[in-house]
Chains A and B, each alone.
Chain A
Amino acid sequence: MADIATEQQILDGLAEIIDDIVGIDKSEVTPEKNFIDDLDIDSLSMVEIAVAAQDQFGVEIPDDELRNLKTVKDVVNFVQNHEAAAKS
């Protein structure tokens, strides 16, 4: 079985992607933050972040799922659940 990233590793990886794409400091990216209301990330940037996350974690995020991922924690959970499914 391949290594499954821990919740903290996913969070760190996501924070790095967000910093790289929209320039928000990694310390701002905490689980409860809402992408639109708290981090001020627009929908096109979310598409970029999702694509980068797919590349990094090897988990496809379909468009209709992406719409439901409102917070940082939502993405972390999504990746964790699907990563486990993909690699177990």
Chain B
Amino acid sequence: MSKSQTRVVVTGLGATTPLGGDLPSTWSALLAGESGIRPLRWEGVEDLPVRFAATLKADPADTLPRQSLRRLDRNQAIALIAAREAWADAGFAPSRGGKPQKGMDKAGVDGGFDMDLDRLGVVVSSGIGGLHTALNSYDVYREKGWARVSPFTVPMLMPNGASGHVGIEFGATAGSHALVSACASSGEAIGYAIDMIRAGRADVIICGGTEACIHPLQMASFGSMRALSTRNDEPERASRPYDKNRDGFVLGEGAAVMILEREEHARARGAQIYGIASGAGYSNDAYDIVLPEPTGSGQAKAMQRALVDAGLEASDIIHINAHATSTPAGDVAELASIKAGLGEEVAAKVVVTATKSMTGHLLGGAGALESIFTILALKEGLVPFVANLEDLDDEADLDIVRDEPRKLPDGPAAALSNSFGFGGHNVSVAFERAL
């Protein structure tokens, strides 16, 4: 099937994360095992059960002018920053900053490769949307009345706002989409983008995910679910997937964007090729709105369907970037799903990592960021290790990377990036090394 269909390649990458203001700094910090998790310094933070999070390393205000930030929610601002990096990395001419200018073409077409903007699409997801905007605007309303509420409140709080802004920035007219499925959102965004190119609706897609909802209400809400780690005395060691003493996930913020491109299109313009976006598999637990289905069959199905969609055999998979959020139940349940999905024999050989140990959990940004890590691991032949893994859970009986990055063998190689979201959404995205 998919061996005969259109191949989709990855030609540009960008990110702004708790580990770095761009992708190169993020990747080197990740390989070094650094933590992006820090104490929160808010007024009143002492009343919260959790007083730390994986906050952005670089302030968006260092990159974007104040006037732009007035009309962009934080999740939208960072999506734009990551998209610009990915776009430039793919070898396209810089955009003109997104403002349609009279008598001129829109962004991105001057100087460099002549991209047909009707063949350029956007799929950028956010799981939560503009939470800061919604809450801050409500404060303004209560204190000063409706007339002082920013007229940009609606476009700032809507979860498709980031996709809309990225589309305007680059003049992408093939379509702009924002799949919303909690922590599976941007894994699904990549899958949808692959399908758009395969279906012939676009040649190039700017796709990824973004999240910025580290707000007292979120700390209270996830805290009230007992979902977050409460290791307040050692924030940088709080996210510890597969460790016996893990006690919950750490909320993170950030954006990750990649350029996906029809292979012939990329080759015709001589683009660098990071890897192949081979396919995606989905499933729905249809079990509980927040709890994963206990046998893990839904997660296993997503991985199996990713293999089918990608035209791969289970034995082609040598690496998995696990969803692994550092919750007591979720981490080991996923390992069981990997065994069920790939078979015990293959699963025993797969090199598993959990990068949320360093980035925290970016919710709607997680799938795209971890997909980028998966692509780089295949390309560079180096898998980041799981940080804070001191005392391995007895049930964590797969090959989990510890203490130092793991070298991968040369030659043909494929990998999966898993993301599972509240609501029951499971997605697994398959990538192959470009040879």
**Chain A interface residues (CB < 8 Å from chain B):** 20-23, 40, 44-45, 47-48, 51
- Check A40 against B65 for contact (C-beta < 8 Å): no
Cα A10 to Cα B99 with chains together (Å): 28
Cα A44 to Cα B102 with chains together (Å): 19
- Check B65 against A48 for contact (C-beta < 8 Å): no
5 closest cross-chain pairs (CB), A and B: A23-B67, A44-B151, A47-B151, A22-B67, A23-B65
Known contacts: A40-B99, A40-B102. The answer to whether A51 contacts B148 by CB under 8 A is: yes
Chain B residue nearest to A37 in the complex (CB): B102
- A sample of 7 cross-chain residue pairs with beta-carbon separation below 8 angstroms, ordered by A number, consists of A21-B70, A23-B66, A23-B67, A23-B68, A44-B151, A48-B151, A51-B148
Chain B, 152-204, CB within 8 A of any chain A CB? 152
Q: How far is the CB of A39 from chain B (nearest CB, A)?
A: 12
Task: Provide the residues of chain A in CB contact with B102, threshold 8 Å.
Answer: 40
Chain B interface main SS type:
loop
Q: How far is the CB of A18 from chain B (nearest CB, A)?
A: 10
Task: Provide the residues of chain B in CB contact with A51, threshold 8 Å.
Answer: 147-148
A-B contacts besides A21-B70, A45-B151, 6 pairs, CB < 8 Å: A21-B67, A23-B67, A40-B101, A44-B151, A48-B70, A48-B151
Task: Provide the residues of chain B in CB contact with A20, threshold 8 Å.
Answer: 67
- Check A48 against B150 for contact (C-beta < 8 Å): yes
Q: How far is the CB of B124 from chain A (nearest CB, A)?
A: 22
Chain B, 59-73, CB within 8 A of any chain A CB? 65-68, 70-71
- Check B67 against A44 for contact (C-beta < 8 Å): no
Task: Provide the residues of chain A in CB contact with B151, threshold 8 Å.
Answer: 44-45, 47-48
Task: Provide the residues of chain A in CB contact with B147, threshold 8 Å.
Answer: 51
Q: How far is the CB of A77 from chain B (nearest CB, A)?
A: 23
Chain A residue nearest to B68 in the complex (CB): A23
Task: Provide the residues of chain B in CB contact with A40, threshold 8 Å.
Answer: 99, 101-102
Task: Provide the residues of chain B in CB contact with A23, threshold 8 Å.
Answer: 65-68
Task: Provide the residues of chain B in CB contact with A21, threshold 8 Å.
Answer: 67, 70
Task: Provide the residues of chain A in CB contact with B68, threshold 8 Å.
Answer: 23
Cα A38 to Cα B99 with chains together (Å): 14
Q: How far is the CB of B69 from chain A (nearest CB, A)?
A: 11
Q: How far is the CB of B352 from chain A (nearest CB, A)?
A: 48
Cα A22 to Cα B68 with chains together (Å): 8
Chain A residue nearest to B148 in the complex (CB): A51
Q: How far is the CB of A12 from chain B (nearest CB, A)?
A: 19
Chain A residue nearest to B101 in the complex (CB): A40
Residue-wise, chain B 50-82 has the 8 Å CB interface mask toward A (1 for contact) of: 000000000000000111101100000000000
Task: Provide the residues of chain B in CB contact with A44, threshold 8 Å.
Answer: 71, 151-152
Q: How far is the CB of A31 from chain B (nearest CB, A)?
A: 21
Cα A88 to Cα B70 with chains together (Å): 36
Residue-wise, chain B 206-239 has the 8 Å CB interface mask toward A (1 for contact) of: 0000000000000000000000000000000000
Q: How far is the CB of B88 from chain A (nearest CB, A)?
A: 22
Q: How far is the CB of B241 from chain A (nearest CB, A)?
A: 44
Chain B residue nearest to A47 in the complex (CB): B151
Q: How far is the CB of A56 from chain B (nearest CB, A)?
A: 13
Task: Provide the residues of chain A in CB contact with B66, threshold 8 Å.
Answer: 23
Cα A44 to Cα B156 with chains together (Å): 13
Q: How far is the CB of A13 from chain B (nearest CB, A)?
A: 18
Cα A45 to Cα B68 with chains together (Å): 11
Residue-wise, chain B 90-105 has the 8 Å CB interface mask toward A (1 for contact) of: 0000000001011000
Task: Provide the residues of chain B in CB contact with A48, threshold 8 Å.
Answer: 70, 150-152
Residue-wise, chain B 371-390 has the 8 Å CB interface mask toward A (1 for contact) of: 00000000000000000000
Task: Provide the residues of chain A in CB contact with B99, threshold 8 Å.
Answer: 40
Task: Provide the residues of chain B in CB contact with A22, threshold 8 Å.
Answer: 67
Chain A residue nearest to B147 in the complex (CB): A51
Cα A8 to Cα B426 with chains together (Å): 62
Task: Provide the residues of chain B in CB contact with A47, threshold 8 Å.
Answer: 151
Cα A45 to Cα B151 with chains together (Å): 8
Q: How far is the CB of B101 from chain A (nearest CB, A)?
A: 8
Task: Provide the residues of chain A in CB contact with B70, threshold 8 Å.
Answer: 21, 48
Chain A residue nearest to B66 in the complex (CB): A23
